[in-house]
């Protein structure tokens, strides 16, 4: 999310086989993922958002068939994504098309409603009298090793608690 953004595009794969479509259990439908993720982003960022899955065409099917009949079958039987456009309220404002086609949707970016008031994700309601941002310019090692940790393994809960209570080593 960026401040003053009005139109966003969210890209998705053409299929998302989280499990074999013929197996027991629920498969994560790509259309539901697009509806929930893109709609939530539209609402939270106050933007028009196009959720656009790529196309699973003949070339993709042929490439997967080189992995075997099972891979080709799973890909062929997996649910496809659908392109959808959402308004800043998180509602779908486009047609729902399930075949390869162009999706057209007219909207006016100036129709974005009031700024975010539920939770501020892009910094549009900064309170500089309350919030303070500081950047430390010193280099900090991302990980350090304690010589004791390399030679001793705690064997009981008390030694684990003592290890956790020890102060961190000084930053060099």
pLDDT for residue 145: 73
Domain annotation covers residue 152: no
pLDDT surpasses 90 at 116: no
pLDDT for residue 85: 96
For residue 23 the two structure tokens come to: 């197996």
Q: How far is CA 26 from CA 5, 18, 37, 148, 167, in A?
A: 36, 9, 19, 48, 47
pLDDT (average), residues 55-72: 90
DSSP per-residue letters across 14-48? SB--SS-TTSSS----HHHHHHHHHHHHHHHHT-E
Domain annotation covers residue 141: no
pLDDT (average), residues 45-72: 90
Domain annotation covers residue 154: no
Phi-psi region of 29 (alpha: psi -120 to 50; beta: other; left: phi over 0): beta
**Closest CA relative to residue 86, chosen from 59, 47, 53, 144:** 47
Question: Could you tell me the residue range of the domain that residue 57 belongs to?
Answer: 7-118
pLDDT for residue 100: 83
Distance CA 42, CA 122 (A): 13
Counting the structural domains of the chain, the total is 1
Distance CA 138, CA 152 (A): 31
Q: What is the CATH number of the domain that holds 53?
A: 3.60.110.10
Domain annotation covers residue 66: yes
**Closest CA relative to residue 14, chosen from 57, 49, 62, 58:** 57
Domain annotation covers residue 136: no
64, burial (CB in 10 Å: exposed 0-12, middle 13-18, buried 19+): middle
Domain annotation covers residue 146: no
pLDDT surpasses 80 at 17: yes
pLDDT (average), residues 34-59: 91
pLDDT (average), residues 80-97: 92
- Model confidence band, residue 26 (pLDDT cutoffs 50, 70, 90): confident
For residue 133 the two structure tokens come to: 């941002």
pTM tops 0.85, yes or no = no
Domain annotation covers residue 58: yes
Domain annotation covers residue 153: no
């Amino acid at each position: 999310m960026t401040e003053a953004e009005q139109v966003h595009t969210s890209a998705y794969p053409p299929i998302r086989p989280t499990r074999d479509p013929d197996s027991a259990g629920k498969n994560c439908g790509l259309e539901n993922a697009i509806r929930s993720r893109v709609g939530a982003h539209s609402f939270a960022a106050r933007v028009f958002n196009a959720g656009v899955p790529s196309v699973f065409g003949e070339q993709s099917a042929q490439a997967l068939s080189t992995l075997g009949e099972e891979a080709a079958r799973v890909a062929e039987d997996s649910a496809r994504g659908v392109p959808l456009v959402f308004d800043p309220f998180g509602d779908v404002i486009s047609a729902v098309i399930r075949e390869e086609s162009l999706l057209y949707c007219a909207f006016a970016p100036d129709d974005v409603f009031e700024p975010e008031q539920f939770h501020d994700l892009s910094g549009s309601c900064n309170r500089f009298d309350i919030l303070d941002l500081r950047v430390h310019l010193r280099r900090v090692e991302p990980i350090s090793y304690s010589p004791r940790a390399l030679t001793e393994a705690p064997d009981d809960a008390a030694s684990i608690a003592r290890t956790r209570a020890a102060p961190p080593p000084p930053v060099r």
